[in-house]
Amino acid sequence: MADLQIEDDGAVRVLTMNRPEKRNALNLALSEALFDALCDADSAADVRAIVLTGAGPAFCAGADLSEFAALSSANAALVERRADITAKLHGVFSQLTKPVVTAINGAAMGGGAGLALAGDIAIMSATAKLGYPEVKHGIVASVVMANLVRQAGRKAAFELVATGEPIDASRAVELGLVNRVVAPQMLMHEAMQSARAMAAVAPQAMAATKLLFYRVAELPFDQALEAGREMNQRMRAFRKDKP
């Protein structure tokens, strides 16, 4: 079966990482398929929102460690390809014009935690856990750190990457890493409800909202205010064009 399942439910595209026997670990094939699927969904006129989840008991275990043996100086091209797709995948969420809801159905570790938090809305099963265990394997939670330090306080973020200890769903919502925690049997219902609500928004307004949101998050206050003023003018002009 495909490493990534793609299904449309009305205006919502559901992407399901489908390597349950590997806890949906991110090998090169799944990473590239997921990046391409996110970009394809963003360009599809009939798709207004995206839901990302995992098949089986885990959301995503992070990088597929079985591929690490091939990632050596003797295979520089593969190392570069893997690093490139990892960075592009974790960076693409904020660049999409359409909202992404992550439905965290189970353990989200390392790169999997990075994907879970990369969603615009993150909904977590009460039985799921989230963590960055890289340091315990003698490596660094590198690409995923950029997103984490922007979404958690510095002390909490450092503790996560420096100890490698996972946190449960209640702690994740307490830290503001996820929007809400729901019973496992309600996870996809809640994720789809959230996605459908955003899918009902005019696509131009949603795209502009995402663009401005991620832009102002990185700007000093006065520049963020100016960016908001510019968007306000643009959207007022857009509304005048409506019948």
The 10 Å Cβ neighbour count of residue 19 is: 23
Which candidate in 21, 67, 134, 190 is catalytic?
134
134 as an active site residue: the answer is yes
Mean pLDDT by 10 residues, the chain (243 residues): 94 98 95 97 98 98 76 68 90 97 98 97 98 94 93 94 98 97 98 98 95 93 94 75 49
**Nearby residues of 217 by Cβ (< 8 Å), 6 or more positions away:** 150
The pTM of the full predicted model, rounded to 2 decimals, is: 0.92
| Rounded Cα gap, residues 12 and 125, in angstroms | 20
What separation in angstroms does the CA of 157 have from each of 5, 36, 129, 166?
Answer: 32, 29, 15, 12
CA dihedral 203, 209, 214, 220 (to 10 degrees): 160
Strand partners, 103: 123
Return the structure tokens found at 147: 């997103």
